[in-house]
Amino acid sequence: MNVIQPLIDLQDTDGQIRELEREARDIPQRKAQEIARLNGVNAALEIAKNQLAAMQQRIKSEESEGEEIRAKVRDLKTNQLNIKSNKEMQQSIMQIEGLERDAEAAENRALALTEDEIPVLERRVADAQAKVDSDKGGVDGYVAELDARLAEVKAELENLTKERAAKADAVSKSNPRFLLYYERQRTKRWPVVVTLNHDGVCDGCHMKQPPFVEQLVQHNKDLVACTMCGRILYRDL
């Protein structure tokens, strides 16, 4: 039996744990990206709504200006009943005509904005709302899938952690020195246990090993480390 086999078994479990831990770190990032994208779509909708509201306020302001001018015109026409001289009457008529032109200009601006700008902005709001409605369903579903997967990953990690403890214990009982060396090396490089191929090359750093290293690996009686990278070597028979 390969004396390194318990370490290989332990490394297999550690490899699975590393992959799951990487996925567990990645899931919240993916979730945050999707939520940020949806927030961007919502922001676009708010901008469109604000633009529409601003235009409606502008139209209301133009209409109010027209109403105020019309009120002044009505007051001037009422005051004409008290005018005695032709000169004053002509001045009043000219003032009224000017105000009526101003009122008509304000009303025309409001009408033009209502007919030209409001439909464009309403379509923009409708399109943005449709985008939000469409994306929200997709994002909500995707986020739910990510949450479910994260729960699965955590459960798998819990089981693998227990499995790792048992395998590490088995290595320790077989040879504590092997486990100590493995644990120290796995904080520096991965994988720790690699094959020495039939050309005498380490599959970790791809460096050719001296003949004595090949002989030690071939004898399969002790832990043998690569002379370059320090990885544990074994020969896959």
Tens digits of residue pLDDT in 11-29: 999 999 999 999 999 999 9
For residue 75, the enclosing domain spans: 15-167
Residue 17: how many CB atoms within 10 A of its CB? 16
CATH of the domain at 69: 1.10.287.1490
Same domain, 118 and 221: no
Residue pLDDT, tens place only, 115-153: 999 999 999 999 999 999 999 989 999 999 999 999 999
- pLDDT score, position 237: 64
User: Are 112 and 153 within one domain?
Assistant: yes
What number is the average pLDDT over the span 163-189?
95
- Last residue of a domain, which of 143, 167, 191? 167
pLDDT of residue 91: 92
Q: How confident is the model at residue 236 (pLDDT cuts 50, 70, 90)?
A: confident
116 shares a domain with 26: yes
| Same domain, yes or no: 129 and 208 | no
With beta carbons less than 8 A apart as the criterion, state whether 221 and 174 touch.
no
200 and 84 both lie in a single domain: no
Residues 119, 208, single domain; the answer is no
Average pLDDT over every residue of 150-171: 96
Average pLDDT over residues 77-96: 91
Q: What is the pLDDT of residue 2?
A: 81
Query: Is residue 172 in a domain?
Result: no
145 in a domain, yes or no?
yes
Structural domain includes residue 6: no
Domain end residue (candidates: 167, 196, 223): 167
Is the residue at 123 inside a domain?
Answer: yes
Is 1 a residue whose pLDDT tops 60? no
94 and 147 share one domain: yes
Structural domains of the chain, count: 2
Within a domain: 5: no
Tokens of 88: 């004053």
pLDDT of residue 12: 97
Average pLDDT over residues 42-60: 96
Same domain (yes/no): 36, 153: yes
In a domain, 175, yes or no: no
pLDDT tens sequence across 69-81: 999 999 999 998 8
Within this chain, do residues 146 and 197 fall inside the same structural domain, yes or no?
no
**232: number of CA atoms within 13 Å, CB side?**
26
Tokens encoding 145: 């899938």
Q: Is residue 8 part of a domain?
A: no
Domain C-terminal end among 114, 132, 167 = 167
3-state secondary structure of 140: helix
Asked if 56 and 163 sit in the same domain, the reply is: yes
- Indicate if 160 and 194 belong to the same structural domain: no
In DSSP notation, 151-202 reads HHHHHHHHHHHHHHHHHHHHHHHH-HHHHHHHHHHTTTSS-SEEEB-TTSBB
Whether residue 151 lies inside any domain: the answer is: yes
Widest Cα–Cα separation across the chain:
131
Average pLDDT over residues 171-179: 93
- The answer on 186 and 163 residing in a single domain is no
